[in-house]
Amino acid sequence: MDELIDVRSICSLEGKSAVVTGGAMGIGFGIAKRFAEAGAAVLVADIDESAAKAAAVRLSDAGRRIEALAVDMGDNSAPERIVTRCIESFGGLDVLVNNAGIFPKVPALEMQPELFDRVMRINLRGLVFLSRAAGLRMIEQRRGGKIINIGSIDSLRPSMIGLAAYDASKGGVLMFTRSFALEMAAHGVQVNAILPGGITTEGTSRPLEGSGMTKEQTDELMANFVKKIPLGRMGVPDDIAKVALFLASSGSDYMTGSHVVVDGGALLT
């Protein structure tokens, strides 16, 4: 008879060190919280220094090892700063979650090159080169690793007019995930993506940057979006965080180059 396995150990991150970019709030904070609960030491990297420090304090309440780092993913120095800080604080790097991103809403016909470049620099270029820096460290450590990229259902299909730059960046995230997974498989590093649908966060509760919309118009837009979701509600950060925990754990050891859609069924409609 096969030996029984404690299923709780499958999603344990005890002894692991993780980085979550954009980890001060929203989806990123939800992921950092689940990782900490699973036993990981977590570096919360975020452009908002005060929010990152506040998140670290909240997550450290139970004696967990949490560090905060203020960093702009658009800076060329960000990847090395993040990896170096994680190693200095925790002695290694086992899990990377590329969550940081921006989503200004501007129709392509009105879009300026500066906006397009900013979206690409943060959403895609920063993700690529942080993955590279983390991947090199994971190879050096010789114990494998997990890289989780946060894409979007817009990686597969545009959800509305005005997100051309965002959609292009998230489509790139999905293809980079597949390509890097192929490259890193020989080193025991798995690279997967989560594609969230509509998630209620601090960011989505505000008018979309560059859209010219009021809060009331944004609320109406979101209400119409909910009507198209078969499960009848917007997601919450923990809906994504629980999937991220699975992908960071041994439960996903035979997955790489995959994407997991978490959208309440929105792509079915």
Contacts of 72 (CB under 8 A, 6+ apart): 47, 78
Contacts of 51 (CB under 8 A, 6+ apart): 24, 25
CA distances from 264 to 68, 210, 225, 227 (A): 32, 27, 12, 11
Contacts of 153 (CB under 8 A, 6+ apart): 159, 195, 196, 197, 261, 263, 266, 267
User: Active-site residue numbers?
Assistant: 166
Show the tokens assigned to 143.
């114990």
Positive or negative, the Cα torsion across 77, 131, 83, 151?
positive
Contacts of 68 (CB under 8 A, 6+ apart): 24, 43, 44, 45, 46, 49, 52, 53, 55, 56
Range list of H helices, 112-267: 113-120, 126-141, 164-184, 215-226, 237-248
Sheet holding 189-196, edge to edge: 66-70, 41-46, 17-21, 95-98, 145-150, 189-196, 259-262
H helix or E strand, kind and range, residue 32: helix 26-37
